[in-house]
Amino acid sequence: MKKLKRSARLVEMTQYLLFRPHTLIPLTTFAERYNSAKSSISEDLAIIKEVFEEEKLGELQTLAGAAGGVKFIPKVSRAQSLQFIQQLCTQLEQPDRILPGGYLYMSDIMGQPMILNEVGKMFASVFADKEIDVVMTVETKGIPLAYSTASFLNLPVVIVRRDNKVTEGSAVSINYVSGSNKRIQTMSLSRRALKEESRVLIIDDFMRMGGTIHGMMDLLKEFKATVQGVGVFVESGEVEEHLVDDYVSLAKLSSVDPKTRTVTAEPGNYFQNDISDEE
């Protein structure tokens, strides 16, 4: 690449880092790329670091030494996230979302890539320090969220199927009891989709009693995998006891009443302390 001026280099490096989250980039990569001295590159990175931190885009970690370099860790602050989720809760409380049976229509929200990117970035912030090999979800609605999260963590995605597809090869299937209606259901995961002893982050869009997530955990045992975290976008608050203890939720539907046509939504357990601080 031809020698760039500092101004052009800053634009170039910014986009390079943003598109390569959680990836260690040696300073020599930049130095060679721009035909510049490492000292100039370090100065550039200091400028980028300051803006990223000021703008709350994430951290720019610099690792010294021979194996050193720079790594971009996308992060949103809890305060920023809370503000975003509170706006989302207002949307969730629109009465015309109520469907027969007390279900809530959320597909319009889940269909907006910009919202999913924000939520994925939140999960990527929450689980940024965990050792994770793969993000897992079950079809269908959790898929976009799992990809968005994985994209910010620079990890692959594995999708558990409700049925056993010919295009997946040999698979491991389990039966599980869905928490709310006590029906026996099946889920399966392709043998080759997941290496044994993988460290897994489970992401899903909605959790009532947690039967589906509990099923995924059972399935993971068949792969000798360990669960490093569970992230749920919206949880139902109308549940006495969960089948899953340890999870992070971003929003909570406290009540959905088809009779009075009212929905109440609040920030999830991730914000527990922030909320009590406010009060």
Q: Which residue has the tokens 């799992």?
A: 146
Give Cα separations from 129 to 54, 75, 164 (angstroms). 21, 11, 34
- Distance from C-alpha of 251 to C-alpha of 131, rounded to nearest angstrom: 25
Q: Which stretch binds a copy of itself (CB under 8 A): 86-94, 99-107, 212-220, 259-267?
A: 99-107
185 binds a copy of itself (CB under 8 A): no
Element (H, E) at 144: helix 143-153
Work out whether 47 is an interface residue with a copy of itself (CB under 8 A).
Answer: yes
Pairing mode of beta strands 199-207, 134-138: parallel
Contact between 258 and a copy of itself by CB under 8 A: the answer reads: no
Per CB under 8 A, which region of 2-10, 210-218, 219-227, 253-261 contacts a copy of itself?
2-10
Q: Does 40 bind a copy of itself (CB under 8 A)?
A: no
What is the four-CA torsion angle of 264, 265, 269, 271, rounded to 10 degrees? -120
Among 30, 34, 52, 123, binds a copy of itself (CB under 8 A): 52
Q: Which of residues 53-72 bind a copy of itself (CB under 8 A)?
A: 55, 57
Residue of 64, 63, 62, 60 whose CA lies nearest to 73: 60
Identify the bridge partners of residue 74 per DSSP, sorted by sequence position.
58
Q: What are the residues binding a copy of itself (CB under 8 A)?
A: 4, 6-8, 10-12, 14-15, 18-19, 47-48, 50-52, 55, 57, 99-101, 103-108, 111-114, 116-117, 139-141, 143-144, 147-148, 150-151, 154-159, 161, 166-169, 190, 192-193
